[in-house]
Amino acid sequence: MRERRDATLTIPCSSIPAVLAILLALGLLSAGCSGPEEVPRTDPQYGALVIAAEGRFAAGQTGQAVESFGRALQRARAMDDPAAISDCAYNLAACLLSLGDLDGACVYLLEARHAAERNGRTRLDALLLEAQIARLQGRTVDAAALCDEILSGAGDDDDETLWQIEVSLLQARLACGAGATLDARAHYDRAANHLDEIDDPHLRAEAALTEGEVLLLEGSHAAAARSFEAQARSLRRAGRYGDMAYALLRAGEASLDASDPAGAADSLFRGARSLFAQGEPGAQAAAQSARAAAQRANDPNLLERIDLLLLEIDEAKNQSP
């Protein structure tokens, strides 16, 4: 059974389509995968290392989680437990990916796949992560082939519908990258037909992100802004506030393109305020963009709130060592 988790990212708004999309697509910290029953985990040292790694990841300490998962992987190798090796290698890859280390993630994903195959398993989650990385690296043919491989193995998995949704969303993102509007819409609609079957805020967020990108490709900027706002609501529900703030900024940008300065100012202000409250970068630039939009919208009340936020940001910068 896969446990859905996320990583806290501090990346600029323009980089959101990169690492964030992968983390939306997958539940990190895998507890296992499809196939034969797992080998019982009786080694206390291994168990303690995994618990420590999961705790650090949950606390947003991704760098420390990498270290802990690395130690757990070494113990799993010493145990010669293919299921444990596969889990640790996958989780380590997911952590490295959240830090933007695509090459490092690929190395451990390969180990996760090989260990799973040795144990008679198919790691669909690793295949999906590989496909996402291939998309980011511009290897669209490889990404498409991996999508086909996932679908061919999904029929033996209890979460077949989930895999079909996630692959369809990824295929839609691939089509968006290629500028194939009709294909992007067809893949997204295929995923959307099954979304009501799964109540998962992470998946809902990914779907809203994908819908927004399809709508942008179609030139429907106002509708795209609404999709990114829906993405932000799902991320809020999931407790992923850093990612939520970036979704709000994306909604603001889409509203600007839709000639809706009032909507843009509201979304940009909320995103900037959230980033500042979390100590994340980009709050000042977002607040300044919100201020410009509020001026265009002639909204004095929002202008006043934005100016107060900018003052708080300046004061915080002056107080920092």
pLDDT of the residue at 28: 52
CATH classification at residue 239: 1.25.40.10
User: Does any domain span residue 270?
Assistant: yes
pLDDT greater than 80 at residue 156: no
Region 264-271: mean pLDDT is 98
User: Does any domain span residue 158?
Assistant: no
pTM of the model: 0.81
User: Does any domain span residue 257?
Assistant: yes
Which three-class secondary structure state does DSSP give residue 258?
coil
Please tell me the least confidently modeled range out of 12-16, 91-95, 142-146, 259-263.
12-16
Which residues on adjacent β-strands are paired with residue 34? 122
pLDDT of the residue at 200: 87
Domain range for 236: 200-321
Kindly state the helix (H) or strand (E) to which residue 156 belongs, with its residue range.
Answer: none
CA distance 231 to 193: 18
User: Does any domain span residue 153?
Assistant: no
User: Does any domain span residue 194?
Assistant: no
How many domains, the chain?
1
CA distance 211 to 208: 5
Residues 205-214: tens digit of each pLDDT: 999 999 999 9
Please tell me the least confidently modeled range out of 16-20, 276-280, 306-310.
16-20
| CB atoms closer than 10 angstroms to residue 194 | 13
pLDDT greater than 80 at residue 76: yes
Residues 84-106: tens digit of each pLDDT: 999 999 999 989 988 889 999 99
User: Does any domain span residue 313?
Assistant: yes
DSSP per residue over 264-297, as a string? HHHHHHHHHHHHHHTT-TTHHHHHHHHHHHHHHH
User: Does any domain span residue 22?
Assistant: no
CA distance 195 to 191: 7
User: Does any domain span residue 320?
Assistant: yes
Percent of the chain with pLDDT over 90: 61
CA distance 140 to 155: 24
